[in-house]
Amino acid sequence: MIGKKKIEVEAPLIPMNPNMDLITVDGGLDVKDKTMLIAFPGVGFAGLIAGHYVVEKTGMKYIGTFVSDYMPSVATIHDAVPYYPIKIFTNKEVIALLSEFVPTQPLTSLIIKTIYSHFIDNGVKKVILLEGILLSDMKDGEDARGIYGIGIRDEINKLLENNGIALLKEGLITGISGMLLSEAYLRNSNVICFLAEAHPMYPDARAAASLIQALRIVDPQIKVDTKKLLENAVEIEKNVKETLMRSKELMDAKQKGLKAGDQRIRLPMYG
């Protein structure tokens, strides 16, 4: 009989720093009385697309990042520059915190604490979370997506309803947005979450456009034309449909036992 030997470990093999640090460039970050946008990857990448579009169109500049031992060991490359996967941008009125990855549970808690200690507790006027939720009927080609909102303060919810935004009265919001909303309720912080219906199978620029249009209701100074974004949506949907059609042709051909070189099969090109 072979017994199991108990191994006792007094401490983690790799000591973990339980903290998260805010690293800024160009002399620090002024947050007082600014609106803060937050977007993490979600359904159709709607929030992240909206966040990056607002950053680009309002001329925000990169100002810093979050770092922690819990962060994934990756760099995101843009214009031949490597960045940590959480990026912070700002201009005179708005701060945007955008992440290229979905955090684990321990990291989610650290991110929430860091948002409070460096932004909300230091005078950010309001926080707006940008999210996507599963499209209800999976129809393509509609310029607008259904959108919902939820605010911590009653006056915000009244403002949303008066402007045609349906309140999310029942449901479940996960991740950063869910935890931050729960914490904001306990602290009565001015946090708002917009959730646009998005297609789960591709980056949904239409949903992102709906989120940007909703931003104007709670912060009129965020003036961003979504025409270009909707044009991109048409192109994205066209490419996805063509890819699906080619995939179907290949699958049908495979089932019929046709060879890949048969002229009746249109093979997809690279790129």
| Mean residue pLDDT across the chain | 84
Query: For 86-122, how does the pLDDT look when each residue is reduced to its tens digit (9 = 90+)?
Result: 999 999 999 999 999 999 888 999 999 999 999 999 9
**What tens digit of pLDDT does each residue of 119-172 get?**
999 999 999 999 999 887 655 555 567 999 999 999 999 999 999 999 999 989
In 11-101, beta strands by DSSP E: 21-24, 35-39, 61-67, 76-78, 81-83, 86-90, 94-99
Location of structure tokens 């495979």: 254
- φ/ψ of residue 267, rounded to 5: -80, 140
pLDDT tens digits along 218-253: 999 998 999 988 888 878 777 766 766 776 676 666
What's the rounded Cα separation, in Å, for the pair 196 and 208? 7
